[in-house]
Amino acid sequence: MINGVKRQIPDDLKAFEKSDAFKKIKRRLINKKEKQSQTVFFDNIEKAFDHFKIVSGQCLSFHHHLRNGDKVIEMVAHEIENRNLINMHLAPSSIFPNYTKLVDLIKNKNVTNIHTNYINGPVADTVSQGYLDGKLIMNTHGGRARAIESGDLKIDVAFLACPVVDRNGNGTGAFGKTACGTLGYAISDLEYARYVVLVTDTLVDELEDYQFDGTYVDAVVVVDSIGDSDGIVSGTTQLTKDPIGLKIAKDCALLLDELDMIKENMSMQTGAGKTSLAVVKYVKDIMKQKNIIGSFASGGITKSYVEMLNEGLFRELYDVQCFDLDAVESYHKNRNHKAMSASEYGNPFEKNPVCNKLDFVILGATEIDLDFNVNVTTDSLGNLIGGSGGHADIAFGAKVTIIISPLIKSRIPIIKERVTTVTTPGSDVDILITERGIAINPIRQELIEILKNSDFPLFTINELFDLSHRITGVPREVGHESKIVGYVEYRDGTIIDCIYQVKRFQ
């Protein structure tokens, strides 16, 4: 059948209708896990596998707060291999380039199904090439929380990396040798997995402040090291020096000002890319100039937001994951730098998730199409290179959603007639800002009305599409193999698009 963004979806699946369709549906909740009186301690993963009798076909989950420095998922992967478990279902909140062990497990059918919110690197390539026997389900951050609490994604054992754990099984990421800040993506796993195992390298007697409540924790595995701190920080703390990126960022800030979005009590979220950081700087300049104090910034938090909090430009930060050590430190010390869980952040069924309180969000895109649908899941060849993360959640929640991107990247135009894969529906995307012009979604006539007499270079998205083709030539349609390797699941659990095996070139 054809879904609400004109995509062909297998008939036996729930097809995406529209982004607010969840409002007609009642929240489903399975029981939270029974609280434990006793937490057991092990000194290796093997013992946890024995204790919880982990067998083939089960679902194991993970969070990605240690990002490219994570060692826990590799430990578990080795144990799966050693025991020759097959048909395992893994549900890490993201998959990073260095989780390479999973490549073998997928090829050898130890792992046959995956739920995740973001996937990049060798594992992504392996799935794109068709090696995963079952399916890859790409969730949003809020959608993953919904899937877990509703029992759509049933987790047998959650292996949760935790930088510091105490004797009662309470845990925190705020400090320690692998400090990563908040552990927001793992809260649903903690509360709803059948068994919860914390994996740590730092055991203390008693924590006063903790994010993981020990009463949910069945076991703690104490190992030498859960991660490399070098890989934990994302690295992007410098704002772009690229003149094209700076121009886009500047135009973005000026446009926000023209739309009167930079005002008292404002709230915002941006990505952590170099151009987004430049937007934050320009917005900050305008806030200072106009003496504006915002209510909050949210998301993955970076140093630039920490500075704004410290300078009194925002009253609070809501942080689901810390992107750099400044954010970790601030989360540890500043009461107004608050943790939020993925559910509080973006679950459509939460009463008032943070994403719904946002005034504006600045997001990237690998492709955008004439209907304003955005792809951040695959590249234009169909290779998996990312995923929604919070993209679709905040695009839905925010009053104004702005996509910033160069019109042309290495000869490849960003605007397509149809995106290769739909991550975020065009109905939730309002403005595209490129170095060669700005397009506003025609469903947002009130924005067009405000801007039509301004000096901004406004075009229709079709005009920008034609302009990019005049510069690059018309790119050939690449196509894909017929095999479906996975689905992009919208935050409400419906299927917004299929992910296909990439075409083999001779």
Residue ranges that bind other proteins, judged by CB under 8 A: 241, 243-244, 246-247, 250, 380-381, 410-412, 435-436, 455, 467, 470-473, 475-476, 478, 505
DSSP class of residue 505? P
Cα(327)–Cα(54) distance, integer angstroms? 36
Minimum gap (Å) between residue 411 Cβ and other proteins: 4
Instruction: Output 247 or 444, the one with its CB closest to other proteins.
Output: 247
Minimum gap (Å) between residue 3 Cβ and other proteins: 27
Beta carbons of 392 and 491 less than 8 angstroms apart:
yes
Minimum gap (Å) between residue 408 Cβ and other proteins: 8
219-253 burial string, b = 16+ CB within 10 Å, else e? bbbbbeebbebebbbbebbebbeeebbbbbbbbbb
Instruction: Output 161 or 283, the one with its CB closest to other proteins.
Output: 283
- Report, in this order, helix, strand and coil percent for the chain, each rounded to 5: 30, 25, 45
Q: Which amino acid is at 143?
A: G
DSSP letters along 400-439, please? EEEEE--SEETTEESEESS-SS-SB-GGG--EEEETTEEE
Minimum gap (Å) between residue 437 Cβ and other proteins: 10
Beta carbons of 349 and 491 less than 8 angstroms apart:
no
Instruction: Output 26 or 470, the one with its CB closest to other proteins.
Output: 470
Instruction: Output 243 or 312, the one with its CB closest to other proteins.
Output: 243
Minimum gap (Å) between residue 473 Cβ and other proteins: 5
Minimum gap (Å) between residue 95 Cβ and other proteins: 24
Minimum gap (Å) between residue 413 Cβ and other proteins: 9
Measured N-to-C along each axis, helices 274-289 and 303-310 cross at an angle, to the nearest 10 degrees, of: 10
Instruction: Output 233 or 467, the one with its CB closest to other proteins.
Output: 467
Instruction: Output 205 or 455, the one with its CB closest to other proteins.
Output: 455
- Three-class secondary structure of residue 1 per DSSP: coil
Going from the C-alpha of 317 to that of each of 12, 244, 299, 313, 340, the distances in angstroms are: 42, 29, 8, 11, 10
Of 384, 371, 414, the C-alpha closest to 480 is 384
Instruction: Output 2 or 505, the one with its CB closest to other proteins.
Output: 505
Instruction: Output 125 or 435, the one with its CB closest to other proteins.
Output: 435
Q: Quick count: other Cβ atoms within 10 Å of Cβ 462? A: 12
Instruction: Output 27 or 288, the one with its CB closest to other proteins.
Output: 288
The secondary structure element, H or E, covering residue 255 is: helix 243-258
Instruction: Output 72 or 283, the one with its CB closest to other proteins.
Output: 283
Cα(372)–Cα(440) distance, integer angstroms? 9
Instruction: Output 37 or 453, the one with its CB closest to other proteins.
Output: 453
Minimum gap (Å) between residue 415 Cβ and other proteins: 14
Cα(405)–Cα(438) distance, integer angstroms? 10
Cα 80 from chain centre: 26
Minimum gap (Å) between residue 285 Cβ and other proteins: 12
Cα(425)–Cα(371) distance, integer angstroms? 8
The secondary structure element, H or E, covering residue 196 is: strand 195-200
Minimum gap (Å) between residue 121 Cβ and other proteins: 18
Minimum gap (Å) between residue 475 Cβ and other proteins: 4
- 506, burial (CB in 10 Å: exposed 0-12, middle 13-18, buried 19+): exposed
DSSP class of residue 33? P
